[in-house]
A and B are shown apart, each in its own frame.
Chain A
């Protein structure tokens, strides 16, 4: 089985930065643990660089299809209670969240 991997080093700081982009809190210990794991996976992925893709368009649709448009009429809505039915916290018909603005 082709599991060719080139060494790729990913720093814990990079893991922290990416986790920040992904809005997932990670501890320094987790960043240390994840860095070689991600490096391993990314190193394995590197082999894609071998492929000559000059002149090849990236695939945008798996099966050729047109994005449909529909008539601009209201066909749904007025279901506020359903929409809020799974809210972890809701008040007065709104989702509530902690303070956003400092």
Chain B
């Protein structure tokens, strides 16, 4: 009998519907996998009761002959950036330790309504700030991958590192992530799974702990394109509680999957060919081009001239928005409070925030505060927002010549924990390929394309036009079908 934890979302959904196994059996299998995987530190909280209750509802509904819900029988992981009613939500920060939301985020609520069960809350970089899951207040996430003959712990990517590690280790078939500058796509690439950031506004941000409001987007992470399409359908949709939510129907992305790219044009942006690009990544990119050609696409070289300014623009805009969003953590209404002897209100704010925020969070709040402060606002923030307009225009111009863009997802395979933490900028450069599409609000996904010389996964990124998640998913499927990625992390935990 197949190990149930080897099954993806579609296989579980269909197997439960067909009576091949019960939802309860599936839940038990994953609950057991989660419990045995503590060395990965992927889960901050385990919620087996929630998964079992959802499984029971699925099995009862099937026995009663009711129409099955879209995700009935599927247990998932929930990034601990989504407020879950009655279940502690920390954003991996000490400042929110003990915070139990009295409400549910829209996205997680939609997943539960669709019949999914929650295995637990997944670890992440603190307040979604990071690219290696090394900034969590509750310990690093360790990737299930290792270099051959080497026990050095590797980064699972970030900020959705708990999500990526858990899926790659078969602790859950899918998970939610969020992506502000690459935090779904880069961890997906590092561990050899699939993840998509939809068009800005597709998924509601209500109940998602805010980092940078004009950039944050929820999205699914799973082992293949079909599973991501299924999850994304369940997660998306208009929400009146999010002022930036798109009031548009959710397309039937799973039904629309089509890997035949005849008539489609794939753009290769020349500015993404960066200095010192590892030859393996260059080679993978070329293989991706060949695969899409085989799928019927026409390949076109395009130019996105302002690409190199995307990262510095992002590292002004995102910290600026974060400095505003994180002002609410002041020890007054929720989270931790630090009240030194004889302290007044201002002292309480300063002491609470000093104790509760990690170093990277403080660094970004300080950068954000600086670039928004009097005398610097125009030189930094306004200039960055203007550059952002130019970056968006570059993409608009490119869409005259192509329908999707193909690029590598990350400039390297997973690095070892601790390898890049000394220099913040070295860490920021991880996002070089993902940030431009974030700034422009475009849908973008990473699919596993191959492995490097150490056998570690490498990902390819597809970027699409606004609202064209279908085009992105289809190109992703074309790559997935030809890449034949079957590499799997060998269990060491």
Contacts and interface: CB of A to CB of B under 8 A. Distances in A.
B105 interface: no
A57 B382 CA distance: 9
Nearest to A19: B366
B429 A85 contact: no
Report the contact-size class of chain A (Cβ under 8 Å from the partner). Answer: 35 or more
Contact of A37 (B103, B353, B411, B424): B424
Interface stretch (B47-55, B140-148, B219-227, B388-396): B388-396
Interface residues of B, number: 80
Given A47-B309, A88-B336, A56 B386 contact: yes
A22 interface: yes
Contacts of A83: 102, 333
By CB atoms of chain B within 10 A, which of A25, A45, A82 has the most? A45
A24 B425 CA distance: 23
Contact of A21 (B277, B369, B380): B369
A63 B316 contact: no
B332 A70 contact: no
Interface string B245-283: 011000000000000000000000000001111000000
B182 interface: no
B425 A40 contact: yes
A91 interface: no
B415 interface: no
Contacts of B380: 45, 48
By CB atoms of chain A within 10 A, which of B276, B330, B336, B384 has the most? B384
A32 to B, nearest CB: 14
B72 to A, nearest CB: 30
Contacts of B343: 98
Interface string B440-461: 1100000000000000000000
B388 A59 contact: yes
A38 B429 contact: no
B482 interface: no
Interface in A39-90: 40-42, 44-45, 47-51, 53, 56-60, 62-63, 65, 67-68, 70, 79, 82-83, 85-89
Interface string B88-112: 0000000000111011000000000
Contact of A86 (B308, B334, B353, B432): B334
A18 B385 CA distance: 22
By CB atoms of chain A within 10 A, which of B244, B312, B330, B440 has the most? B312
A26 interface: yes
B389 A56 contact: yes
A48 B357 contact: no
A97 B346 CA distance: 10
Contacts of B488: none
A60 B316 CA distance: 15
A3 B276 CA distance: 11
Given A48-B309, A58-B389, A99-B344, A85 B274 contact: no
